[in-house]
Amino acid sequence: MQKVPFDEIIVVDSSNDDTPKIAKSLGARVICEIRKGYGRALQTGVENAQGEIVVFIDGDGTYDPEDIMRIVKPILNGECDVVLGDRLNGRLYLGAMSLINRVGNILISLIFSVLFLRWISDTQCGLRAIRRSLLRGLSYRDYGMPYVTEQLAKLIKRGARIKIVPVTYKPRVGTTKLRRWTDGLRILKVIFQERLSR
């Protein structure tokens, strides 16, 4: 992250390892979020961000921070309001994504694209950039794994201009909290709820 010129780096964390200590020593602002949920951590980051563009990146080493400038640039150039990373058409390292996860991502993205009439090749990518003004006032049904999918649906409803940029995806560090079937079904439920609501 130190190679990327940012005004602020926020780490939202509730772990009991050395992550907060290391992050602080490297100049990041650390916010402890005791409420559980992947989406809850992201939302806390959004609520505490001060910049015009919010970048989400998972802290498990799967994404290359050097891709950040590539996903921010189209927004800075006025081409779009949201840039989503695309792992499936980017540089996918061997062992970074299991076959079942890959198939699940493709199916979820396809269902989302059909229902919202907008082609999104990787709805679940954890590397994305969004104009912060578009995130104001949004509330969510689910602050777990479905958060990013629900957020994307709401952004489309707000008329956000979306661009997709292929990104690098590496094997993760540590164990995943993703529960394939449970989280997959929750994501699909949120997609249908958002499609049916105004």
CATH of the domain at 180: 3.90.550.10
β-strand partners of 63: 169
pLDDT at 5: 67
- Is pTM beyond 0.85? Reply is yes
Domain assignment present for residue 186? The answer is yes
Decide if 43 is inside a domain. Answer: no
Which residue did the predictor score with more confidence, 77 or 9?
77
The answer to the question of residue 36 being in a domain is no
With beta carbons less than 8 A apart as the criterion, state whether 63 and 126 touch. yes
Whether 7 is in a domain gets the answer no
Residue 29 has pLDDT above 90, yes or no: no
Rounded to an integer, the average pLDDT of 135-151 is 92
Mean pLDDT, residues 72-91: 96
Q: Is residue 118 part of a domain?
A: yes
Higher pLDDT, residue 59 or 2: 59
Does residue 192 form part of some domain? Answer: yes
Is 45 inside any structural domain?
no
Q: What is the pLDDT of residue 37?
A: 85
Residue 44 covered by a domain: no
Reported as a single tens digit per residue, the pLDDT across 2-26 is 666 676 777 777 777 888 888 888 8
Which residues, other chains included, contact 54 with Cβ-Cβ below 8 Å and sequence gap of 6+? 45, 46, 129, 130, 131, 132, 135
What CA–CA distance (Å, rounded) separates 107 from 113?
Answer: 10
- With cut-offs at 50, 70 and 90, classify the pLDDT of residue 1: low
Between CA 64 and CA 93 the distance in angstroms is 12
If you search the block for the tokens 């290391």, which residue do you land on?
Answer: 22
* C-alpha pair distances (Å), 105 with each of 111, 122, 159, 171, 179: 10, 7, 24, 16, 13
Q: DSSP secondary structure string, 64-124?
A: -GGGHHHHHHHHHTTS-SEEEEEEEEEEE-TTSS-HHHHHHHHHHHHHHHHHHTS--S-TT
- Residue 59 pLDDT > 70: yes
* Residue appearing with tokens 């809850």: 40
Find the domain containing 78 and state its range: 52-196
| Tens digits of residue pLDDT in 155-196 | 999 999 999 999 999 998 876 666 777 888 999 999 999 999
Confidence of residue 33 (pLDDT cuts 50, 70, 90): confident
Least confident of 18-22, 86-90, 128-132, 146-150: 18-22
CA 173 – CA 188 distance, rounded (Å): 27
Based on the structure, what is the number of domains in the chain? 1
pLDDT in tens, 96-141: 888 898 999 999 999 999 999 999 999 999 999 999 999 999 999 9
Cβ contact 85:67 at 8 Å = yes
Q: Which residue is it, tokens 């079942």?
A: 100
Distance from C-alpha of 134 to C-alpha of 138, rounded to nearest angstrom: 8
